[in-house]
Each structure stands twice: as structure tokens, then as C-alpha cells.
Amino acid sequence: MEQLTNATRKLITSLRTASGRRENGLFTVEGHRAISEMIEATECVGLYHTAKWWETAPDEFKSLLYRCNNGRGVVNTPVTAHDMERISSMSTPQGVLAVMKIPSHKLSPTELSKTLSIALDCIQDPGNMGTIIRLCDWFGVKDIVASGDTVDCYNPKVVQSAMGALARVRVHYVDDLAEFVKIMDELTSGNVISTDLHGENIYDFPIPAAGVIVMGNEGRGVSEKVGREISRHVKIPSYPADAAHVESLNVAMATGIVLAEARRPRK
């Protein structure tokens, strides 16, 4: 059984932080299903597993390791259970961890204006971020544009929550989300919308097939600066309207409802 060097262990654990990921251009993925998804989308620079896990690993996953990276395959390194506990970001490690290159995505507002995309304004919770990425994957939304203060999509908790959806959904970070929203509003002829308690009833509002849906921070909603660039707002009504209910919906929950309504076939 191979012992990890201190340098390798230090590199992998540094990827738990946003600064470590930015500095190295790498992130980690755990669990063979998520790794199988991501390995098709970006380069895997190393795979680490326990002997116990490898004994029961699916044959198709092992075959995938030999075929990926443009046919070059992946060097996989057996490690002790103790080392796996030290490099894993999970409380209960799954026994296999991959280090992957952060893919580079080009952001083209002109191309984005031809389809439906999501914009995120200061989403902070990794679980919410991961769920929103999964929802976009489910509903065929290929691009998310996020403010610079939105949680890093390669945060281990986000990657875990996204469950492989990052392989198909591109996440772009911009320094000025308000400026991006302004540009998109012009390119889509006003088809940029956000959720708001004072907006139009979503069930009476035809969500455009091409445009941008802006989702705001968990506690504050869409920021004032970004909100000034949005002229159309929708609300998700409670039922029944006059009953007592919670103050608001979770942002990931709300995103799911809006996307489901956006994709609903209309006569």
C-alpha cells in the first residue's frame, strides 16, 4: 500500500479552500458516480482509492479510467484508509477521490441571449448552489452566471450536492452582475426576470424560452444594484392565498418551481 507524500497530501487538502483551488486550477470529486460524470468533461490528474474500495469498484468505472483523458488514462494510486480520511472532505469518505482540472468556460452574452440561463446574485449556501446546478441540468439549462460573491461552484460541498451535474452545466463568475444583467436585458429585449413577492403571478406569466432568470441571496433576495436593471418580476403564490404560511421559499426550491414553469408545455 502506497503512502501519500506530504506534498501530495498538502496539495489535495489545499483544494478545500477557494484560494487553493484558484492557485492550482484544480478541484476534488468524491464517489465513483460523480467522478464518472466529471471525468468525461475535464481532465483527471489523479485518482486515489483504498484497496477495499478498489476490490468492489464497478468494472465499467475501471474501464473508464483507462479510456479517459483523450485515451491517456488516469494514474490511480492506492492509499491507506487513514490517508483517505485525511484527504477526504467528507465525514465518512467513500473510498475514492479524484483531483481534476477546473475547466475553462467562455462567456458569450450574445450566445446566452438565444437560450434560457440562470443568474445568481450572492448565493452563499453550498447546498443551495449544488441543488441549483442539479436543477439546471435536469431542466436543460446549460449556463449559470454568478456574482463574484456567490459560493465557488468547485467547493467540495457544492460538487457533492451537484452530483455530477457540473459535467454539463457551465458556471461563469462575473465581477459586476448588474452590468451583465443590463447587457442581457438589452440583448433579450427585456426578457430578464427575477422572483419578487410583489411580482406578477408566475402561473399567469409566460416565462420566455430565451432570457435570464435572476435568483437572489438566501436572506436578502436580489440586491438593489442588480434589481435596478430588471424590469420584470414574478412571484410564486402561496396556497391558499389567505392562509398562514412561511415567510419565503428556499432559493433552490424557488429555482426549481420557476424552471418547471418555464419548461411547462403551453398550448
- Assign 71 a pLDDT band (cuts: 50, 70, 90): low
Domains 6-101 and 109-262 agree in fold: no
CA distances from 161 to 23, 116, 242, 252 (A): 23, 23, 35, 12
Whole-prediction pTM value?
0.93
Q: What does the domain layout of the chain look like in residue ranges?
A: 6-101, 109-262
- What value does the mean pLDDT take over residues 83-91? 95
Distance CA(79)–CA(86), nearest Å, equals 11
Select 109-262's CATH number: 3.30.465.10, 3.40.1280.10, 3.40.50.300, 3.20.20.10: 3.40.1280.10
- Checking if the pLDDT of 73 tops 80, the result is no
Q: What are the pLDDT digits (tens) for 169-195?
A: 999 999 999 999 999 999 999 999 999
Per-residue confidence (pLDDT) for residue 74, from 0 to 100: 86
Query: Which CATH superfamily groups domain 6-101?
Result: Ribosomal protein L30/S12 (3.30.1330.30)
Give me the chain's average pLDDT, please: 93
- What value does the mean pLDDT take over residues 18-47? 94
Q: What are the pLDDT digits (tens) for 235-260?
A: 999 888 777 777 778 999 999 999 99
Q: Which residues pair with 231 in a beta bridge?
A: none
